[in-house]
Amino acid sequence: MFGYVSALEIFRFKGLSRSHEMTSHPIPVRAPVQKRSQRTYDRLAGAILAAANDGSLSTLTLPRLAQRAGVSTGAFYGRFASKEAAVRDVLDRQTTAFVSRLSLLGAQHRPGRDVRGWIAAVTREFDDHARAITSLVRVLITTGAALPASAAHSPALRREAAALLTEWGVVQARQSERRAGFVLELVEAMTRDAALSNRRVDHADIEMAALWYLSAP
Amino acid sequence: MFGYVSALEIFRFKGLSRSHEMTSHPIPVRAPVQKRSQRTYDRLAGAILAAANDGSLSTLTLPRLAQRAGVSTGAFYGRFASKEAAVRDVLDRQTTAFVSRLSLLGAQHRPGRDVRGWIAAVTREFDDHARAITSLVRVLITTGAALPASAAHSPALRREAAALLTEWGVVQARQSERRAGFVLELVEAMTRDAALSNRRVDHADIEMAALWYLSAP
């Protein structure tokens, strides 16, 4: 068994924060054990995303943000220590969901052995994700923090990609982790940089660069 | 004549702002016509860089920043409309100087026809530059602006790199602008993303990816 899911589970339970080499202070994330708690979280996350997108997040006070979410200020503090912690948490969850999607993509493409198709799909996912989180990332940078968790640096995802490329015979086993890891970094960096610059990237070029890098002897 | 300098001059005089596809508001830059004016500018630029590096720039008021620079608040406003304008100006000048260095690198490597050596040197320059301006970039993002001017998108620099690669026989003339441009974007994105993430990038991988992308048929 190749074990996509199990690798992902390890990644999840060992904590995404492991891959936050740029998180200066770990944010405790409470698991929503009750329905009401989950609803409160969803409302807060929705209000944070909406405020990030309309540009008001950096100036909104915490009570005002809670009001927009339709929850009490107390409920907000019950979930998060600060606005920054809330932003970081929403970003972390989006990244976790994103890593799951990438993992699923690998599983879906595995039987087809189509490296080009897989890289194209991975590039689209990275680009969509980078665009979706850009406004939150800006707010995070504002607080002095660095970029959010890098999916490309997730050890489980790198291992999965390396196993896929080895199985397909695209790279040699001894080079697979480095090659797979770098390709993920390349796609991530180019899509993040473009999203922060309000620019579009050419997927065809990214895919070509990734394929040729992988096929190098 | 290949005309590195002339291409650079065109880039300069047509205005670096042409390549600021992400600058929402052009900042007028006054040429320092007098020595005293140049000294004032240098002091302000030095104070801005120092404040960005020690993390105080986002909270420093403009009069306090002028005080640190040893100039009057009036002298500051004589040069810049706002703190943001000053940051943008310092960044623009650093980018202009950076583009000049890249252009010079091309001229220096031209006789040697060493594409590998040139790419390695370009990667080092991009990485050094990305690290040098990261704290200023963070402040800029804080103001809601996007990343600063992309050197990789400078039309003159792309043309120079394309001419170099064509002359060396690395790429075909009809593909040269696209290939050269993408290689510059790749190196820039990977070094900028790493700098913002407080991470180191592996130059050897970047160089390998660039070389293989260029050598693709």
**pLDDT at A30 (0 to 100):** 54
Q: Is A135 on the interface with B (CB under 8 A)?
A: no
* Mean pLDDT along residues A43-62: 86
Q: Which residues of A touch B202 (CB under 8 A)?
A: 182
Q: Using one digit for the tens of pLDDT, what is the confidence trace for B106-145?
A: 999 999 999 999 999 999 999 999 998 888 888 877 666 6
Listed range (A68-82, A164-178, B203-217) with the worst mean pLDDT: A68-82
**pLDDT at A37 (0 to 100):** 80
Nearest-Cα distance to chain A for B216, in Å, is 7
Q: Which two tokens stand for residue B82?
A: 């706002």
Q: Is A56 on the interface with B (CB under 8 A)?
A: no
**pLDDT at B34 (0 to 100):** 67
Q: In terms of Cα–Cα distance, which of B21, B30, B44, B156 is closest to B100?
A: B156
**pLDDT at A12 (0 to 100):** 35
Are B189 and A189 within 8 A, CB to CB? yes
Q: Which residues of B touch A56 (CB under 8 A)?
A: none
Q: Is A202 on the interface with B (CB under 8 A)?
A: yes
Q: Which amino acid is at A38?
A: Q
Average per-residue pLDDT for chain B: 82
**pLDDT at A189 (0 to 100):** 96
Q: Which two tokens stand for residue B67?
A: 């005080």
ipTM value, please give it: 0.78
**pLDDT at A128 (0 to 100):** 95
Q: Which residues of B touch A154 (CB under 8 A)?
A: none
Spatial neighbors of B43 by CB under 8 A, at least 6 apart, are: B69, B70, B71
Angle among Cα B169, B175, B176 to the nearest 5 degrees reads: 55
Nearest-Cα distance to chain A for B148, in Å, is 8
List the domains of chain A with CATH numbers.
Answer: 4-18+84-215 (1.10.357)
Q: Indicate the helix (H) or strand (E) that contains B92.
A: helix B83-109
Q: Is A30 on the interface with B (CB under 8 A)?
A: no
A142 → chain B, closest CA residue: B142
Q: Is B53 on the interface with A (CB under 8 A)?
A: no
**pLDDT at A9 (0 to 100):** 32
**pLDDT at B83 (0 to 100):** 84
Nearest-Cα distance to chain A for B106, in Å, is 22
* Residue B17 Cα distances to A30, A138, B133, angstroms: 47, 22, 18
Burial of B97 (0-12, 13-18, 19+ CB in 10 A): exposed
Q: Using one digit for the tens of pLDDT, what is the confidence trace for A98-112?
A: 999 999 999 999 999
Q: Is B186 on the interface with A (CB under 8 A)?
A: yes
Q: How confident is the model at residue A29 (pLDDT cuts 50, 70, 90)?
A: low
* Segment A9-14 long-range contacts (CB within 8 Å, at least 24 positions apart): A10/A156, A11/A99, A11/A154, A11/A155, A11/A156, A11/A157, A12/A96
Q: How confident is the model at residue B12 (pLDDT cuts 50, 70, 90)?
A: very low
Q: Which residues of B touch A212 (CB under 8 A)?
A: 209, 212-213, 215-216
Listed range (A114-128, B16-30, B190-204) with the worst mean pLDDT: B16-30
Spatial neighbors of B29 by CB under 8 A, at least 6 apart, are: B89, B92, B93
- Contact state of B213 with A208 under an 8 Å Cβ cutoff: yes
Nearest to B209 among A186, A193, A201 (CB): A186
At residue A125, φ and ψ (nearest 5 deg) are: -60, -45
Q: Is A71 on the interface with B (CB under 8 A)?
A: no
Residue with the two structure tokens 């690998």: A106
The Cα–Cα gap between A162 and A177 comes to 5
Q: How confident is the model at residue A16 (pLDDT cuts 50, 70, 90)?
A: very low
CB interface of A with B, residues 147-176, below 8 Å = 147, 150
CB contacts < 8 A, A to B, total 96
The Cα–Cα gap between A126 and A132 comes to 10
* Mean pLDDT along residues A49-71: 87
Q: Is A178 on the interface with B (CB under 8 A)?
A: yes
Spatial neighbors of B38 by CB under 8 A, at least 6 apart, are: B32
Are A201 and A190 within 8 A, CB to CB? yes
Q: Is B84 on the interface with A (CB under 8 A)?
A: no
Q: Is A217 on the interface with B (CB under 8 A)?
A: no
Spatial neighbors of B51 by CB under 8 A, at least 6 apart, are: B57, B60, B65, B68
- Contact state of B189 with A185 under an 8 Å Cβ cutoff: no
* Mean pLDDT along residues B12-28: 38
Listed range (A47-51, A135-139, A188-192) with the worst mean pLDDT: A135-139
Q: Is B134 on the interface with A (CB under 8 A)?
A: no
Per-residue buried b or exposed e for B155-179, using 16+ beta carbons within 10 Å of the residue's own CB: ebbbbbbbbbbbebebbeeeebbeb
Q: What are the strands, taking DSSP E only, across A18-119?
A: none
Residue A144 in this model has a pLDDT that exceeds 70: no
The Cα–Cα gap between B185 and B187 comes to 6
- Chain centroid offset of residue A11 CA: 13
Q: What percent of chain A has pLDDT over 70?
A: 82
Q: Which residues of B touch A193 (CB under 8 A)?
A: 147, 188-189, 192-193
Are B198 and B137 within 8 A, CB to CB? no
